[in-house]
């Protein structure tokens, strides 16, 4: 079970389960069901970290709380190895969409780096095809963002970009740079980003998570319409010398996909209560709360919403505003965006929240 810090019958959590969720930042290889991970490891003859689902969750939790990105990333070695089979990719994608829907998602964008499976024998197009097949079977309005791993050479990012473009319009809705941020800025991958931008495929980039705030502006200048995390931008808000930079980011209208618990686990924030999401929100930046890696961080979308209200002083009306902006900034089509807006407004009306 995710959200072990919250009581399962917590009344706020129960209420927020019904909040319509707009999922923009959820890594498929970080969000498997623990039981599925066990079954996939078993099917491939790979050793499991524990014999049962609760043990897998405890293993992930220990790494998530180790306080380093390296420990946090250990879990991905396991999930990627387990998923290296087209039927496994389809299953993980389907279950991610089903779990999102069960947690209130009205639209969802999932992401993964398909080239990760190439050394394990799965061709990039076969990987994307399997993932899209799984998502399509869910019935949820959803799409796939293709990630490139930013620590790899730019030619690999270009291959990921060409892969994304081959599947654009058939379920792939965006492009991202993921993996270790520090030392691997967007500019290194300028050619691939220009190719994607030029072809009209939307870009969201992890930026300002493990590297400094100015990387957010760099990502924007390379065409990012949304930013994964971006929390280090908060370090610049109080510095008068940085106002022009912050103003340019704000003027670009980018949306921040903020993942509070994940940031605590990787050391990007001390706690949810002290998380920079409050400062970014108060500075008028557009953002929403996202899960990042539901298995590895042991969270759900409802749980993250609950923590924001209880620990970071957000109102339920703020969560609706976040959802509406996330819907506006989704890379899915207008039908999906409009359905999400209607669901959020209906929820706000049902709770008599003013202003919707």
Active site residues: 209
Q: Which of residues 223-242 bind Zn ion (CB under 5 A)?
A: 228
Q: 171's torsion region: left (phi>0), alpha (psi -120 to 50) or beta?
A: left
Nearer to Zn ion, 101 or 293 (CB): 293
Query: Residue 179 Cβ, how far from Zn ion at the closest point, in Å?
Result: 9
The length of the chain, given as a count of residues: 356
Tokens of 148: 């490139």
* DSSP assigned state of 182: T
Yes or no: say if 201 and 176 are a contact pair by the CB < 8 Å rule: no
From CA 334, how far away is CA 344, in angstroms rounded?
15
From CA 235, how far away is CA 276, in angstroms rounded?
8
Q: Which of residues 270-299 bind Zn ion (CB under 5 A)?
A: 292
Query: Residue 90 Cβ, how far from Zn ion at the closest point, in Å?
Result: 22
Query: Residue 173 Cβ, how far from Zn ion at the closest point, in Å?
Result: 16
Query: Residue 234 Cβ, how far from Zn ion at the closest point, in Å?
Result: 18
From CA 302, how far away is CA 322, in angstroms rounded?
14
Query: Residue 206 Cβ, how far from Zn ion at the closest point, in Å?
Result: 6
Position closest to Zn ion via CB = 292
How many CA atoms lie within 13 Å of 299's alpha carbon, on the beta-carbon side?
27
From CA 32, how far away is CA 37, in angstroms rounded?
6
Yes or no: say if 126 and 144 are a contact pair by the CB < 8 Å rule: no
**Residues near Zn ion (CB under 5 A), total:** 2
Q: Which of residues 23-82 bind Zn ion (CB under 5 A)?
A: none
Nearer to Zn ion, 3 or 292 (CB): 292
Tokens of 161: 């970009």
Query: Residue 94 Cβ, how far from Zn ion at the closest point, in Å?
Result: 21
Nearer to Zn ion, 109 or 129 (CB): 109
Binding-site string for Zn ion from residue 186 to residue 225, where x marks contact by CB under 5 A and - marks none? ----------------------------------------
Nearer to Zn ion, 228 or 323 (CB): 228
Query: Residue 352 Cβ, how far from Zn ion at the closest point, in Å?
Result: 35
Yes or no: say if 112 and 147 are a contact pair by the CB < 8 Å rule: yes
From CA 174, how far away is CA 111, in angstroms rounded?
9
Nearer to Zn ion, 86 or 179 (CB): 179
User: CA 285 → CA 140, 226, 236, 290, 338, distances in Å?
Assistant: 29, 12, 13, 15, 22
Residue 55, SS3 per DSSP: helix
Report residue 275 CA to chain centroid gap.
17
Q: Does 257 bind Zn ion (CB under 5 A)?
A: no
Nearer to Zn ion, 126 or 149 (CB): 149
Nearer to Zn ion, 228 or 230 (CB): 228
Place of tokens 């959802």: 323
Yes or no: say if 28 and 135 are a contact pair by the CB < 8 Å rule: no
**Residue ranges in contact with Zn ion by CB under 5 A:** 228, 292
């Amino acid at each position: 079970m995710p959200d072990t810090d919250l009581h399962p019958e917590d009344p706020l959590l129960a209420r927020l389960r019904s909040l319509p969720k707009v999922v923009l930042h959820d890594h498929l290889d970080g969000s498997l069901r623990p039981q599925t991970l066990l079954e996939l490891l078993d099917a491939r003859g790979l050793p499991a970290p524990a014999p049962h689902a609760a043990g897998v969750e405890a293993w992930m939790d220990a790494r998530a709380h180790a306080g380093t990105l390296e420990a946090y990333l250990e879990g991905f070695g396991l999930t990627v190895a387990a998923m290296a089979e087209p039927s496994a990719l389809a299953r993980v994608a389907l279950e991610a969409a089903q779990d999102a829907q069960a947690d209130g998602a009205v639209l969802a964008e999932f992401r993964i780096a398909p080239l990760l499976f190439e050394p394990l024998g799965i061709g990039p197009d076969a990987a994307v095809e399997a993932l899209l097949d799984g998502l399509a079977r869910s019935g949820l309005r959803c799409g796939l963002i293709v990630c490139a791993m930013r620590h790899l050479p730019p030619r690999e990012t270009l291959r990921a970009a060409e892969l994304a473009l081959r599947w654009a319009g058939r379920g792939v809705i965006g492009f991202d740079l993921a993996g270790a941020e520090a030392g691997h800025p967007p500019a290194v991958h300028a050619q691939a980003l220009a190719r994607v931008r030029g072809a009209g495929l939307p870009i969201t980039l992890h930026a300002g998570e493990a590297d400094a705030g100015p990387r957010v502006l760099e990502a924007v200048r390379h065409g990012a319409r949304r930013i994964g995390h971006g929390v280090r931008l908060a370090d610049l808000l109080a510095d008068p010398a940085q106002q022009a930079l912050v103003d340019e980011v704000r003027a670009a209208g980018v949306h921040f996909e903020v993942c509070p618990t994940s940031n605590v686990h990787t050391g990007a924030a001390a706690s949810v209560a002290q998380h920079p999401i409050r400062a970014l929100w108060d500075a008028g930046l557009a953002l929403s709360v996202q899960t990042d890696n539901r298995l590895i961080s042991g969270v759900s979308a409802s749980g993250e919403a609950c923590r924001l209200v209880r620990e970071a002083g957000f109102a339920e009306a703020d969560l609706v505003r976040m959802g509406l902006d996330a819907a506006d900034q989704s890379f899915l089509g207008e039908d999906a965006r409009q359905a999400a807006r209607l669901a959020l407004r209906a929820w706000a009306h049902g709770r008599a929240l003013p202003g919707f």
